[in-house]
Structure formats: structure tokens, C-alpha cells
Amino acid sequence: MNSRDEEKRYEGLSPFELKDKQIEMAGSNPERTMLNAGRGNPNWVATTPRYAFFLLGKFALAEAHRVLSRPGIAGAPESKCMGGRLLDFCRIHSEALGAQFLADSYKYATENLGLDGDSFTGEMIDGILGDHYPTPDRMLINCEKIVQSYLDNTMCDSQPPAGTMDLFAVEGGTAAMTYIFNTLKENFLINPGDKIAIGTPIFTPYLDIPTLNDYELLVVDIKMDEKSNWQYPDSEIDKLSDPSVKAFFIVNPSNPPSTSVAPESLDKIAKLVQTTRKDLIILTDDVYGTFVNGFKSLAAIAPQNTILVYSFSKYFGATGWRLGVIGIYKDNIMDKLIAALPQDKRGGMHKRYESISPDPDSIRLIDRLVADSRAVALNHTAGLSTPQQVMMALFSFQELLDSDSHLYKKETQDLVRERYEALYKSLGVEAPELPCYAMYYTTIDISQLAEKRFGKDFSKWLKSTYEPIDFVWNLADKKGVVLMDGGGFAAPQMSVRVSLANLLKDDYVKIGKAISELLAEYQDTWRKSGK
């Protein structure tokens, strides 16, 4: 089998599956170092909340031994007067990393959020020990209030809309997507043959899931314009005016372009759902929002229509923790759409949820998500593990306590910016300065780079002569560099997605040189062919 035939076999795969083949090729030469800037797993970790987490565990065990202490066994702690004991513990261990953070978190929880000190501390201690089922199963009461405040701060630019966003703590953004798609289907908010709009380019599962036999949805592309700083033209947003489009799915900031929706586009969408499309369901995945200053989620401008997905994984270097939330405002269009369904469909849903409520018709969408996550029958064992929820709360405090200086945010932004600038300097191309730019990824259009460097004729020849994945294929095979195929994200064909999160600055210099070297090799082949 020749190389082109083999490439064709892999072209239909998701970029995440193609990546495995690229890693195999890139690692086949033991004399070179493989550089993998494919998946966006950050190579940093937020340290202060982790120090606090492990120190809190020490306090939790001391509290457990107050109740019962036998060889290898301690009791379930009691929360009475526990807040004061936590502060005493922090003073006694003031030299320990994380102690001041714990004391400051307690102060913020009680003074800024109005939480009862003993209730807050008791929940954190019981949670970190993990000795009870999550109660409530949707999310622990105090943890929910802490994360709600974090989302108000980071997803709404500290200007949240009126009302309360209810949260469901889940096992990262992946679980959130799975639960949402399933519950929308089970509650007839999306049905086979329905049209859904997807903002492209986008994280590939949003392209793949809707067309599966499980859903059989028709996809309408809402396309970003590469020439307009990867923003949505008005003509694309206007597609959402079509009443047959039931939902709009978006990653914001985008993946892979890494740009957030411009304020003028947010305003246009907000006006749309306030007037002609009051019934439009919006699903927004905002995991990269914390990398953009002044970020505003669609949940902030269209709260009644929006389901928010947020994951702590990227910002805090916590992909292995699997920490995410689904957020839905109490006053939302989805609950109203369910209530307005025909009797035959409501009857089926009544039967589905009747084992968990004496009034199943009144169960809100956020609670249907919880039940469906455990096949309804296991609703009583639903919920994210309590130690994970404690870690989520501590990550939230990292930002809440840093809301004036934003030191942590500046550090993470500086990290990715340094790598971004090093990559483009090595490429010999001016680094694009885009508004609303998260800079977590960058998309390099190889055909545009080819035209800029060697002319239009060469660029046309490159695209017509080779398969769209040929560049990333050869980059792995010949240079030992693994990048994602941009075309798999519905970005331009023969573009590449570079993660700026998971390698060191000097590695991006090498990646830039490798891209330039490979492009020059294609140009040499073209020149010798006499085309």
C-alpha cells in the first residue's frame, strides 16, 4: 500500500484517533525526540489549592479521630464548632503551605458568600474523607454556592444576570456532553431528523455525536470566518433565525481557533433569543473562557436559553481530576418546552421519572440530567465524588481570592503567550494579534503559509497533489512532531492545530522550524516536478 492510499484509510478518523497513528510514526525513530503538541493537556498545575487540599486532609483525619479512634479506624466527624477548630489548625500550622489559603477561603466563604462556618467546614471535611454519598446528589450545598460565585466571576465578567444558576457537578466536560445529549433526547427536546446548529470549527465530538444512530440529527454549520479574526459573520448568525433549528452548540472560546465570541455577536444572539427565537436552546462549552480577559459566556447574555458546560481541567492543570459542571438558570426555556410537549410524550416521561418523585412532571431539566446520568433507577447513588467536589471548591477559591490582582490568571496567560510568540517567531511569521484570543491553541493554515512563502501556484499544487492530512502525517513521520489535523475540526483543509499548553517554550521553536523545513521540502518537490 502506498502512502497516499494509507492516508486515505485514516482520513475519516477523528483527529484524536488519527493522533495515535501519528504518535506511532513520530516515535519510530529512537534517535530523535518526539514533540507532541496534539492534545491540549496543560503541563502546569495550580499548586496553592493542591497544598490546601492535602493539608485539609490532615485536619480531616484529626477531626475523625476526635469521634472514634481505634487501630486503623476513625469516626465520621461532627461539624459542631468545627469552623473554629479549622482556624486554630491553620494558625498552629501557619508555616505549612496551604494553611493561609485555607484560612482565607474560610473567611471568604463566611464573610463574602454568607456561609455558616461550621456547615461549610463540615461539608469540606466530610467531603474530603468521602465517607458519605454525595448529598444532595446534584451537588453539595456549600460547594455549589462557591462554584456559582466562581462562574459569576469568570464566565460573566463579574456581571451575572439576574437569577440563580443551578449546578450539576460532573466528571469533566466529557461527562457533561454525554449527559446533556442523552437527556435532551430522552425529554424530546431534540428528536431524530431535527436540525441543530453547530459553531465551526469545533471540538470534534460535537461534529460526530449528533449524526450517530443514537440521535440522527441534521447539522447546520455556523461558520467562523478565518479572514475576520475567526468570528461569526452576521450572515452565519442569521441562520439561527430559522425556527426549524432547535439548538445551537458552541465551544467558546473556540477549539481550535481559540477565539471567544465578539461582543457585537453576543449582542446579536441575545437580541435573537429575546425576539424571534425565544425557543432556541443554546449549549455552550466554555472551558477556555478563563484565558480571555473580560470573557462573557452566552449564559451571561442569554441565561434563559443556555446550558453552560464548564470544566476546571485546563486552567488549573487538572485533566486527571475530571472536574466539571453543567449550569442551567432556574428560569429557563427548556423546562417550559418540556411542559408544553404533547400529552403522549409527557406521559412517557411521567413513567420514566415516576420512581424518583411523587410529581415527576415537575422535575426540572437539571434534575432530569442527574437522574438520567444513572439510568434513573440509580438516581439515589448519583453525584460526583465528594473529594472531587472539595477540590473543585478549592480551585474556585484560587480565583475568588485573587480577583483583584489576578496573579494566577496572568501567569497562565503569560505561559501560553510566550509559547505562542516563540512558535511564530520560529516560523518567521508575525504572530496574529486577535481580539478575544485565548491563545490556548493556534490554527496554522498550511496552504496560506505556503502561498505567503512560495506563491499561489505552489499553494494550489500542494492542495491538489496531496491528501488533506498529508502535512500532519509527514510532520510526524519525517520530523517527529505530532499536531492535530485542523480539517477534522471543520477548520480549513490542510491546517494544523497546535496546542500551546503542553510543551516548553523551546519545543515550540523546534515545532516552528519543523513546519518550515517540511514546507520547504514540498516546495523542492514541486520545483523539481517542473509544475
Residues of the chain with CATH 1.10.20.110: 47-129
Closest CA to 204 of 505, 487, 530, 504: 487
Q: What average pLDDT does the structure give for the chain?
A: 94
pLDDT at 32: 86
Work out the average pLDDT over 444-473. 94
pLDDT at residue 148 above 90?
Answer: yes
User: What is d(CA 17, CA 503) in angstroms, rounded to the nearest whole number?
Assistant: 20
pTM: 0.95
Work out the average pLDDT over 46-54. 98
pLDDT tens string 98-116: 999 999 999 999 999 999 9
> 3-class SS at 223?
strand
pLDDT band at 31 (very low <50, low <70, confident <90, very high): confident
**Strand ranges for 126-202 from DSSP E:** 165-170, 195-200
pLDDT at residue 252 above 50?
Answer: yes
pLDDT band at 497 (very low <50, low <70, confident <90, very high): very high
pLDDT at 73: 97
**Cα 153 off chain centre by:** 17
Percent of the residues in the chain that have a pLDDT greater than 90, as a whole number = 87
Work out the average pLDDT over 484-499. 91
Query: How is 391-460 classified by DSSP, letter by letter?
Result: HHHHHHHHHHTTTTT-HHHHHHHHHHHHHHHHHHHHHTSPPP--TTB--SEEEEEHHHHHHHHH-HHHHH
pLDDT band at 36 (very low <50, low <70, confident <90, very high): very high
pLDDT tens string 264-286: 999 999 999 999 999 999 999 99
User: What is d(CA 253, CA 156) in angstroms, rounded to the nearest whole number?
Assistant: 14
Closest CA to 36 of 22, 56, 55, 46: 22
The CATH classification number of 47-129 equals 1.10.20.110
Place of cell 448568525: 237
Work out the average pLDDT over 185-199. 96
Closest CA to 507 of 35, 43, 42: 35
pLDDT at 500: 97
Neighbours of 4 (CB within 10 A): 12
pLDDT at residue 2 above 60?
Answer: no
pLDDT at 531: 63
Work out the average pLDDT over 122-130. 98
pLDDT at 206: 87
Residues of the chain with CATH 3.40.640.10: 141-400
Work out the average pLDDT over 45-53. 98
Residues of the chain with CATH 3.90.1150.10: 3-32+407-529
**Strand ranges for 144-299 from DSSP E:** 165-170, 195-200, 218-223, 245-251, 281-285
CATH ID of 141-400, from 3.40.640.10, 3.10.20.600, 3.10.100.10, 3.20.20.150: 3.40.640.10
Peptide bond preceding 303 in cis form (omega within 30 of 0)? no
Which residues are registered as beta bridge partners of 332? none
pLDDT at 1: 37
User: What is d(CA 268, CA 231) in angstroms, rounded to the nearest whole number?
Assistant: 13
Angle, alpha carbons 321-322-324 (nearest 5°): 125
pLDDT at 247: 96
Work out the average pLDDT over 475-484. 94
- Position 142, amino acid: N
Judged by average pLDDT, the poorest of 18-32, 142-156, 340-354, 517-531 is 18-32
Torsion of CA 146, 286, 326, 102, to 10 degrees: -20
pLDDT at residue 521 above 60?
Answer: yes
Domain 3-32+407-529 in this protein, CATH class: alpha beta
